[in-house]
Amino acid sequence: MLSTVTSKGQVTIPKEIRDLLRIHANDKVDFVLDGERVVLIPVKTLLDLRGAVPAAGKGAFAQERARAKAAVAERVRGEME
């Protein structure tokens, strides 16, 4: 697949590639040099991964958040001692 580089250095990623890599408008991509090749890698954020793993139980979100905060506070306290 060929694309043309514009005067601003922009290239359109062909739809077939965008669909294959699930790249959408405003997504971030990384260009990685591999010898004389460039590899395009979609960058996923935590927001993109939301819902990818099912919840282990039916606990309330507020309770889980409170437990997580308490665990972090305990760890920080231990590091300060």
Domain range annotation of the chain: 15-80
The model's pLDDT over 19-68, given as tens digits with 9 standing for 90+, comes to: 999 999 999 999 999 999 999 999 988 877 777 777 776 667 788 888 89
What is the per-residue pLDDT for 54? 75
Q: For residue 12, which amino acid is it?
A: T
Q: CA 45, 47, 49: angle at the middle one, nearest 5?
A: 80
